[in-house]
Structures are given as C-alpha cells and as structure tokens.
C-alpha cells in the first residue's frame, strides 16, 4: 500500500491560518490502513485544530468527511454539492487525493495534510517499511524475492557495498542491509552462482526517469472486461 | 596479460613484476591549485601513480578529472577515481572520454560513499549504474570500442581499470566472490580498503589465492598510517566498513602522544614488509590521508625507493 505520515499540526495550522470554515477530508484507502487519513485521524486532526484555534482566539468551523477513495473520480464527485461551502479543504489522502480533488474542483484550495512516503507495509504494529520503488520493471525474483532497487540506499544491483556491517546499512543502523540478506539467503540455498556475473545496466525508462507514467489497458477502454 | 592495455606507468610497473607503490591525494575544497600542486610535489617520484579522489566521503571538492589533469601537468601519473553517485551513464562515458583525452590512463571504478555522510546530505543520488557495471563499461569502451548502447567510439579510451575491495565488510564469506565478480567484470587491478586487521586479511588473501584470483588481477593492499590513537578511535567508530583491532588502538595509546604518529608509521611499515612477502599481493596502496608530506619518508623507510622506471 501507499504509506504516509501526518504533517505536523504547526504546518497544517499555518496552511489554514486565514480560513474560518474548512473541510477535512479523509480516505478509506491506504491511508486508513496505515492509520494516517481514516475517520479516526480526521476526527483527531479536527479536534486538534479546533483546540489550537480556540487557544489563539480565532475560532474555526470544521466539517469532516471520509471518501471511499480520493483516487477515484466517481467518489471525488460525491462532494460536488458541498465542496464550495468551505474556504479550504485539508486532504488526508496520499498525494493522489488532493490532486484528483484539485483537478475536479478548480476553484477550491486543497491542502495536503500528510506527507506521502513510500510503497510498503507494516512489519509490526505501528511500523511501516518501504518495499517497492515503483521502478516499472520488477526483477525481485533475481534477488531472492527482495528488492535492492527500493531497499538498498544506492540501489546496487551487485551489492553489498563496502559499508555493510552486521547486516545493517551504513546509512542507518536501523535499516537492514538488504544485500546482506540477499547474499545470506542465496548462500543458505547453495545458489550463490545466481549472484555472479555482471547484470546489464537497468532500463530506468519505466521508472520516474522516463517522465510521468501512464498505464493503459485497452481491453478496459473498449469495455470488453 | 601479454600486451599493454593502457600503457600507463602503473600497468607497466605491475606487468614487469615490480612491487607497486601507489599514493593518494584529495583535491582541494576549492580551486586552490597551488595547494594541490604542493601536495602533489610530495608524492612525485615516490609512488607509481596517485589516486585522485572523487568527492570522497561525499564532500564537494574540485573534480577528480580536473585534479588528475593538473597532476599530469605536475609530472605524476593519476589514478582517476570515479563514483557512480554523482553521474548518470551519459556523464560517466563523457567523463571517461574527457579523462582519456587529457592523458589519464588509470581509472578506479567506485559506487561512492552515500551522500548522507557528506556535506550535502540533501542531494539526490544518481546510482544509474553501480561499480560492477562501471567496470564492465570501461572495459567495453576500451576493448570493444563501443559505448554502452553499442555505438562505435571514434578513438576509444584505453584505461587500466581499477576497482576497490573491502575484505572487512559483511558478509565476510561473500567478499572474495564479489572480488571475483569485479575481476570477471574487467578489473585489471584492485586497491583494497585500508587494512588494519592483519589476521583477517591473511585469511582473505588465502581465499583469493586458492581461487587463483591473484593470477587474473593485480591486488594492491591498502595501508593508512595512523596519525594518533584518536584517529584510530574515530575511524573505528565512525567510518563504515572499517575493521580496526583493539590491539592497534592499544598499541598507539601505549606510547606518548607525541610519539603516536611514529608508532602509526611503524605499524604501516611492518604491514608493507609483510605485504611484500604475502602471496597474491602485487603492491601497496598508501593512503596517507592529509599526510602527503610524510609519503617520501614512508616510502624511503619502506624500502620501495627508487620507483622503477619502466
């Protein structure tokens, strides 16, 4: 899923500093699963802003709502009759949400309430880790099912670099050296030869380097499926 | 290794069977050419080639390409270092052509320290290709006369291809295989990470010799003389991939502060003596970090002077 972190209350307060009536809009997709933009988080943010504004003597009127998905025009259209009632809207969806909203409601201001961080999953309660860089050419099967593009700080295809120690990444001791894990897995399997030889340079055209990406499914466009 | 691949001095020295002795010089943090020339003057005639580092530890400095060109003007032979952190494949190939055009004949292919450790941690890193792929690329440009995409190069760059090896990083058992892979990719010579743990390095070299890797590639053992116990402590704690035995730190601490530099040099000289006899070691890479002026004395006392004229 897409993982995000809530922006600080200070940053959000600064965004809506001059607004007296706003909407906080959550999303039931990924950000609900990673506990950053679901109904609960929307309510918490609304209360926090109300309290802070009351303290500073500048009361604010806040409504809340949570869409099924902010990355889907069908659901985004669901607020068309009310979105104009507010001076601004804070979206707690990933970076896709406030953009779909901005594209549909061109006169309204949408603030991102979260920082979208990565594609990953929860490794324990309250901890999420990156697993995929969305490079567009998946080759994890070549590396024991683990992705060095996303999980090595240098995206090495022939690791580990000389800084690996005790299975930890030199950049951050809290981060696993994924190459250490890949090598050890191959050694245990007796398949070290899988890592020998020189892999050709990666084709980054399918990654962000090739420009903004688009996925086209002709069969869906034609209505065959 | 019948014909010369690059014709560099370093290649000739190694091919003639001499025990090679290379040095290192960091370019200035600015355009202070005079200071660079002063540092280079200490090394001239005392080493076979001098590594010109490339934004080492991810700190911005004068480009290694310019530093290498200045070195040629000063009469020494550069070993032009190139990291994959700061250039994509276009810049890499273009700089290789530029380097060769300026008379550079040795190149050390590196991934590069992560920018987190440097003075611009906010930077985007490139890592379009990695060090293994860089080695293969320089070889392809030299031996096939082709760019990465297969197009012909009009006058291909003939480089003596170097690579790094850290026998002390984890997982240790894999390191010799990664070295083998670099040699397979096209490395002509290897300069190892600074060696302090001699027991581990002896074991590593035994593995190297058992696999016959020393017959396919020249291996230069990395030596850094410690200036004092504080430096040893710092490197042990803060430089990734360093293996500094407690016994060495103790040895340095065991003498007066004013004598610690001499003790550090003594240890380095003992290492050089052992490397001269160690099977599979073809020379020493002396990394006297910001201590270039000590290299003449170290080389003299190590008994590696005069350097062979080949």
Same domain, A88 and A165: no
Answer whether B19-165 and B190-300 agree in fold. yes
Query: How far does the CA of residue A204 sit from the closest CA of chain B (Å)?
Result: 8
Chain B residues in contact with A160 (beta carbon < 8 A): 169-171, 174
Domain housing A168: 133-209
Mean pLDDT value across residues B63-72: 98
pLDDT per residue as tens digits for the range B135-190: 999 999 999 999 999 999 999 999 999 999 999 999 999 999 999 999 999 999 99
Same domain, A184 and A147: yes
Number of domains in chain A: 2
Q: Is the residue at A126 inside a domain?
A: no
Same domain, A110 and A156: no
pLDDT of residue B239: 84
Per the CB < 8 A criterion, the answer to whether B148 and B89 are in contact is yes
Residue A131 has pLDDT above 80, yes or no: yes
Indicate yes or no: CB of A162 within 8 angstroms of CB of B173: no
Mean pLDDT value across residues A42-70: 98
Mean pLDDT value across residues B198-218: 98
Same domain, A6 and A109: yes
pLDDT per residue as tens digits for the range B249-273: 999 999 999 999 999 999 999 999 9
pLDDT per residue as tens digits for the range A188-212: 999 999 999 999 999 999 999 999 9
CB-nearest partner of A198 from B85, B127, B136: B136
B78-83 and B106-110: which strand pairing?
Answer: parallel
Where among A84, A117, A150 does a domain terminate? A117
Numbered residues of chain B with Cβ closer than 8 Å to any chain A Cβ = 84-85, 89, 111-114, 116-117, 125, 127-133, 135-137, 148, 164-166, 169-171, 173-174, 177-178, 180-181, 184-185, 193, 240-241
Chain B residues in contact with A175 (beta carbon < 8 A): none
Q: Is the residue at A91 inside a domain?
A: yes
Same domain, A95 and A147: no
Mean pLDDT value across residues A126-145: 97
Closest residue of A to B168, CA-based?
A162
pLDDT of residue B2: 64
pLDDT band at B1 (very low <50, low <70, confident <90, very high): very low
Q: What CA dihedral angle connects A103, A104, A108 and A114, to 10 degrees?
A: -60
Q: Is the residue at A78 inside a domain?
A: yes
Hey, is B18 helix, strand or coil? coil
CATH 3.20.20.220 fits B190-300, yes or no: yes
Chain B residues in contact with A201 (beta carbon < 8 A): 89, 128-129, 133, 137, 148
pLDDT per residue as tens digits for the range A152-177: 999 999 999 999 999 999 999 999 99
Indicate yes or no: CB of B132 within 8 angstroms of CB of A158: yes
Mean pLDDT value across residues A67-71: 98
Extents of the domains making up chain B:
19-165, 190-300
Mean confidence (pLDDT) of chain B: 97
Same domain, A109 and A137: no
pLDDT of residue B55: 97
CATH of the domain at A91: 3.40.50.2300
Interface probe for A, chosen from B83, B111, B150 (most Cβ of A below 10 Å), is B111
CATH 1.10.10.10 fits B19-165, yes or no: no
Mean pLDDT value across residues A32-49: 98
DSSP state, residue B152: B
Residue B288 has pLDDT above 50, yes or no: yes
Closest residue of A to B241, CA-based?
A163
- Torsion sign (Cα): B230, B236, B239, B242: positive
Where among A48, A82, A117 does a domain terminate? A117
CB-nearest partner of B148 from A158, A166, A201: A201
Closest residue of A to B129, CA-based?
A201
Same domain, A113 and A146: no
Indicate yes or no: CB of B180 within 8 angstroms of CB of A155: no
Query: How far does the CA of residue A7 sit from the closest CA of chain B (Å)?
Result: 19
Neighbour tally for B240: CB within 10 Å: 18
**Three-class secondary structure assignment of chain A:** CEEEEECCHHHHHHHCCCCCEEEEEEECCHHHHCCCCCHHHHHHHHHHHHHHHHHCCCCCEEEEEEECCCCCHHHHHHHCCCHHHCCEEEECCCCHHHHHHHHHCCCCCEEECEEEEEEEEEEECCEEEEEECCCCCCCHHHHCCCCHHHHCCCCCCCCCCCCCECCECCCCCCCECHHHHHHHHHHHCCCHHHHCCCCCCCCHHHCHHHCCCCCCCHHHHCCCC
Same domain, A53 and A101: yes
Per the CB < 8 A criterion, the answer to whether A129 and A17 are in contact is no
Name residue A65's beta-bridge partners: A25
Indicate yes or no: CB of A167 within 8 angstroms of CB of B133: no
Q: Residue B286: left if φ>0, alpha if ψ -120 to 50, beta else—which one?
A: beta
Q: Is the residue at A43 inside a domain?
A: yes
Query: How far does the CA of residue A10 sit from the closest CA of chain B (Å)?
Result: 23
Q: CA-based Rg of chain A, rounded to a whole angstrom?
A: 22
The whole-angstrom separation of Cα A129 and Cα A118 is 8
Residue B67 has pLDDT above 50, yes or no: yes
Same domain, A141 and A48: no
The whole-angstrom separation of Cα B218 and Cα B235 is 27
The whole-angstrom separation of Cα A160 and Cα B73 is 37
pLDDT of residue B240: 80
Q: Which of B2-11, B63-72, B136-145 has the lowest mean pLDDT?
A: B2-11
What kind and span of H or E run contains B71? helix B64-73
Same domain, A63 and A98: yes
Residue pairs spanning A and B at CB distance below 8 A: 101
């Amino acid at each position: 899923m897409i993982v995000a972190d809530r922006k600080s209350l200070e940053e959000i307060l600064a965004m809506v500093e001059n607004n007296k009536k706003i909407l906080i809009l959550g999303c039931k997709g990924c950000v609900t699963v990673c506990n950053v933009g679901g109904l609960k988080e929307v309510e918490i943010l609304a209360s926090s802003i109300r309290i802070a504004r009351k303290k500073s003597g500048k009361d604010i009127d806040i409504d809340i709502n949570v869409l099924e998905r902010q990355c889907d025009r069908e659901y985004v259209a669901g607020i068309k009759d009310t979105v104009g009632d507010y001076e601004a809207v804070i979206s707690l969806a990933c970076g896709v949400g406030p953009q779909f909203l901005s594209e549909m409601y061109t006169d309204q201001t949408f603030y991102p309430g979260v920082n979208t961080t990565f594609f990953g999953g929860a490794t324990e309660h309250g901890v999420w880790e990156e697993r995929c860089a969305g490079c567009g050419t998946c080759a994890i099967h070549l590396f024991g099912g683990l992705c060095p593009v996303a999980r090595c700080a240098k995206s090495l295809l022939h690791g580990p670099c000389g800084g690996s120690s005790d299975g930890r990444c030199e950049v951050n001791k809290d981060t696993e050296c994924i190459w250490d894990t890949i090598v050890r897995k191959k050694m245990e399997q007796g398949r070290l030869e899988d890592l020998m030889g020189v892999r050709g340079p990666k084709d980054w055209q399918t990654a962000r380097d090739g420009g903004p990406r688009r996925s086209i499914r002709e069969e869906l466009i034609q209505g065959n499926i | 290794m019948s014909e010369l691949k690059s014709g560099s001095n370093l290649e000739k020295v190694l091919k003639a069977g001499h025990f090679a002795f290379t040095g290192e010089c960091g370019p200035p943090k600015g355009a202070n050419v005079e200071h660079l020339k002063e540092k280079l003057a200490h090394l001239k005639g005392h080493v076979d080639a001098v590594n010109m580092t490339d934004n080492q530890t991810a700190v911005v400095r004068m480009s290694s390409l310019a530093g290498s060109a200045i070195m040629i003007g000063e009469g020494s032979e550069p070993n032009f270092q190139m990291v994959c952190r700061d250039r994509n494949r276009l810049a890499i190939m273009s700089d290789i052509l530029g380097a060769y055009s300026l008379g550079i004949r040795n190149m050390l292919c590196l991934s590069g320290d992560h920018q987190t450790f440097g003075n611009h941690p906010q930077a985007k890193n490139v890592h379009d290709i990695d060090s293994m792929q860089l080695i293969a690329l320089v070889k392809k440009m030299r031996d096939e006369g082709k760019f990465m995409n297969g197009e012909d190069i009009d006058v291909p760059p003939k480089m003596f291809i170097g690579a790094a090896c850290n026998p002390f990083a984890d997982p240790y058992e894999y390191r010799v295989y990664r070295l083998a892979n670099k040699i397979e990719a096209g490395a002509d010579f290897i300069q190892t990470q600074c060696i302090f743990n001699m027991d581990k390095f002896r074991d590593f070299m035994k593995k190297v010799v058992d696999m016959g890797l020393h017959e396919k590639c020249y291996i230069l053992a990395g030596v850094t003389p410690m200036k004092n116990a504080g430096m040893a402590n710092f490197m042990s704690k803060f430089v990734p991939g360093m293996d500094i035995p407690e016994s060495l730190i103790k040895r340095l601490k065991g003498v007066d502060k004013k004598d610690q530099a001499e003790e550090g040099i003594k240890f380095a000289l003992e290492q050089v003596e052992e490397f001269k006899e160690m099977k599979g070691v073809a020379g020493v890479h002396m990394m006297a970090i910001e201590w270039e002026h000590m290299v003449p004395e170290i080389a003299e006392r190590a008994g590696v002077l005069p350097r062979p004229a080949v």
